[in-house]
Amino acid sequence: MRPPLIAGNWKMNGLLKEARDLATGLRKEIGDNAGGPEVLVCPPFLALAAVREILDGSPIKIGAQDVHWEAKEAGCSAVLLGHSERRHVMGETNEMINRKLKACLAAGLLPIVCVGELLEERNMGVTREVVERQLAKGYDGLTPEETARTVLAYEPVWAIGTGKTATPRQAEEVHHYLRKLVTQKAGEAVGKSIRILYGGSVSPDNVKDLMAEEDIDGALVGGASLKVDSFLKIVRYKS
C-alpha cells in the first residue's frame, strides 16, 4: 500500500505575513491529520524559516522548491526537483537534476522529481519518449535502494497554471508507464512502492477522480494550495 502524499507548491506567491497566515490556518485545520494523507508544503525560499517555525511539531512537512548540489541547510525534509519552470524557464538540464537528486539523497532529503511534456510534444505523440528520457537521465547512477527513497511527479507542462488538466485516464496512462520504467530500472518491489504524484491544475473538483486511478498516489498542487479552504478540500479528498 502506497501512502498518498498531497504537496502544495506555493511558488513565489505571497509575502511573509501571507505565508505565516496560510501556515497557521493549515496547522489549525489539519490538526493531527489522523488517517489522512501525508501533507507537505513548499513555500518560497524567503518564507521557509517562518513557515518552519509555525509548523514545527505538526504533521505537515516542509519542502523547498529547489536545491543546489552543494551542501546547504534550511530545515526542510523534502525538495522539488525539475519543476517545469526550472526546466523550461531556467534551462535546467536532466544532468543538473541528476546532480541535485544525488545531493538530496546524500543529505537525507526526500526528492520529488518532476517530469512532463510540453504541449507540442503531447501533440506530436512523444510523451512517453520525453518522460522516459527525463527519468533515465535524471535517475542515472542511482541504486534500487536510492530510487526507492524518491517520489516522482508527473506534470504535463501544458496543464500547469493554464486551468487545463489531463483527464484521469491521460494521467493514469503516463503514471502507469512511469511505474513500468521504474520497475525495469530498480525492480518490481521498488516499482510497486514508489509514489507518483500528479501535478497540473489539481483542484477540489478533480482530485477525487484523479486519486481513484490505480497509479496516482497523490497530488502536487499549485494555485489551489494558496488558500486554506481549497487545499483542505484536496487533502480531504476521501471525505
pLDDT in tens, 120-129: 999 999 999 9
Percent of the chain as helix, strand, coil, to the nearest 5: 45, 15, 40
Supply the pLDDT for residue 111: 97
The pLDDT of residue 62: 97
The better pLDDT of the pair 160, 171 is held by 171
Amino acid at 18: E
Of 54-58, 66-70, 149-153, where does mean pLDDT reach its minimum? 66-70
Query: Collapsing DSSP states into helix, strand and coil, what is residue 75?
Result: coil
Angle between the N-to-C axes of helices 94-106 and 127-138, in degrees from 0 to 180, rounded to the nearest 10: 50
State the residue for C-alpha cell 487545463.
164
> What single DSSP character describes residue 65?
S
**Single-letter code of the amino acid located at 36:** G
Q: Which residues are catalytic?
A: 83, 155
- H helices of 107-217, where? 119-123, 127-138, 144-147, 168-186, 188-193, 207-211
All cell numbers assigned to 201: 491544475
Across 92-118, average pLDDT = 96
Start-to-end Cα distance in the chain:
19
- Answer yes or no: pTM beyond 0.85: yes
Cβ atoms 224, 231 nearer than 8 A: yes
Residue 177 CA neighbour count, 13 Å, CB half: 20
pLDDT at residue 71 tops 80: no
Mean of all residue pLDDT scores within the chain: 94
List of long-range contacts for 13-20, beta carbons under 8 Å, 24+ apart: 13/44, 13/226, 14/43, 14/44, 14/47, 14/226, 16/46, 16/47, 16/50, 19/43, 19/44, 19/47, 19/50, 19/51, 20/47, 20/50, 20/51, 20/54
In percent, the amount of the chain with pLDDT more than 90 equals: 84
Strand partners, 187: none
pLDDT 10s digits, 201-222: 899 999 999 999 999 999 999 9
Distances from the Cα of 215 to the Cα of 31, 82, 119, 152, 182, angstroms: 28, 21, 22, 11, 12
Q: Tell me the mean pLDDT in the region 156-173.
A: 88
| Greater pLDDT, 162 or 81 | 81
Report which of residues 35 and 81 the model is more confident about. Answer: 81
Q: Domains plus CATH for the chain?
A: 5-235 (3.20.20.70)
Helices (H) and strands (E) in the chain, counts: 11, 8
The DSSP symbol for 158 reads: G
pLDDT for the residue 68 = 86
What would the grid cell of residue 16 be?
511573509
Q: Which residue has the higher pLDDT, 239 or 233?
A: 233
